[in-house]
Amino acid sequence: MADARRPLPEPARLQRGVRAWVRTGPLILVLALANNRAAADEPPAATASPTLEAPVSALPRKPRYFYFGRDYGSEALYGPLWVFVNRGYDVLQDHVASRNIFDFGYRANGRNVAENLIHPFSAISNDGWKTFFSQEIFPLSFTRDTARWTPNYTLHLIGGGMTYTALREWFEDYHVPAPRVFSAFTLMAAAFVNESLENKGVVGFNTDCIADIYFFDIGGIILFSFDWPNRFFSQQVVISDWSLQPSFTLPNGELHNAGNYFAAKWALPFYRRVSLFSWFGEATTAGLSVALDDEYSLSAAAGGAAVHLVNQATNKVQNTVDFVPTAALFLDRRNSLLASLQVSDVDDYFIHFNLYPHAITARGPAIGVWGVVDRRARVAAGFAIGRPFGIGGGWSGL
């Protein structure tokens, strides 16, 4: 008789582990949100003299990590609509669809993404569990066609987790009930739109959305529900949201200048005014940042920009990305981006400039402007209105 206690083969154990995570991940997310909500609502502990009320200044204040309500720079645009448009339509920079977002086939693409999320094990089994884990989950593949895990850690896990905390802080400032729930909902709604755009009309298996949403988007929310990641990425390696200024442009109603980007700074221990710097999103760059004084910093970076998302298959989603050289300069004030200039080896966004609200003067309304010049000297330009909107209008001749 076979030993009933014989250990399972490795593939079977992997499948069992993934099944458990996919089934319990959303529950863990709900419990994490509920636990943090309860902790936030917990009254302060009683003092030794209960008849005396402590002054307001003596009461403990909830730590603030990423959103400070500044009225200048990129933070002047920050809000759920700005986050949703930049994250949800970020992949338009890869030319996956027309920039007229109202003509996109949301129903068909959203249905295919939903089918794969509802039945993830069939999609994973089609490619193989080893392929799924080595190419989408763990950093074990390093070729252009297989390193699909790369944006999962930067954009989805760290960037998404940081955005979850910043949005939660935004909702708290506006006294919205259940801020963690609204923050998580905004992130997941943007993620679903983004995955629908990346689906690109496929009716079939799509493991990309399974890895992105179940492992890294939800994982980022759970991870940044704890204080230590927020402390680390706001004090040690400082992460800031330096996304673009989305605008709906005439004459064709196209969405331009939308993109989700983050800046990371790590101050050199032997000379704190200089930091190692990275700007990442639909670009992967590295460089240096120099503190000009106690408020302003100038940063420069170079690397690669994603320009085309190419599906290598016809009956399933197996996307790869083409990169081109890019370089950029940035001016920020207290990690709120004031201005950026990017040059990339592309036809459309060849020279790309953004000037954020109140970058030059604190007077007047919080309005940012941007401009693009392509290789044929055609121009697009627009503006974005400060929070709570964060988006605006413009004109495109591209």
Phi, psi of 72 (to 5 degrees): -135, 155
Rounded Cα distance between 286 and 299, Å, is 10
Q: Is 299 exposed, middle or buried (0-12, 13-18, 19+ CB in 10 A)?
A: buried
Rounded Cα distance between 289 and 296, Å, is 10
Q: Which residues pair with 330 in a beta bridge?
A: 299, 340
Could you list the beta-strand ranges (E) of 243-335: 247-250, 254-256, 262-268, 271-280, 283-291, 296-311, 319-333
pLDDT of residue 39: 44
Rounded Cα distance between 128 and 141, Å, is 15
Helix or strand holding residue 380 (H, E): strand 379-385
Domain ranges of the chain: 73-396
Query: Within 13 Å of residue 190, how many CA atoms lie on the same side as its CB?
Result: 29
Q: Any residues with CB less than 8 A from the CB of 346 and at least 6 apart, and which?
A: 305, 307, 324
The string of DSSP letters for 60-123 reads: PPPP--S----SSGGGGG-SHHHHHHHHHTGGGGGTSS-S-GGGS-HHHHHHHHHHHHHSHHHH
Residue with tokens 């442009």: 249
Rounded Cα distance between 374 and 372, Å, is 7
pLDDT of residue 46: 37
The string of DSSP letters for 315-362 reads: SB--EEEEEEEEEEEEEEETTEEEEEEEEESSSSSSEEEEE-TTSS-S
Rounded Cα distance between 326 and 118, Å, is 39
CA distances to 54, 109, 118, 349 from 204, in Å? 62, 10, 13, 33
Rounded Cα distance between 165 and 180, Å, is 8
Q: Which residues pair with 319 in a beta bridge?
A: 311
10-residue stretch averages of pLDDT, the chain, 398 residues long: 47 53 52 48 39 40 91 98 98 92 95 97 94 95 88 96 98 96 98 96 95 98 98 98 98 97 98 98 96 98 92 81 95 98 96 98 96 97 95 97
Length of the chain (residues): 398
Rounded Cα distance between 384 and 357, Å, is 8
pLDDT of residue 346: 95
Phi, psi of 286 (to 5 degrees): -145, 150
pLDDT of residue 309: 84
Residue 321: name the closest of 175, 161, 167, 150 by CA: 150
Handedness of CA 241, 384, 87, 64 (dihedral sign): positive
- Give the count of beta carbons closer than 10 Å to the beta carbon of residue 43: 5
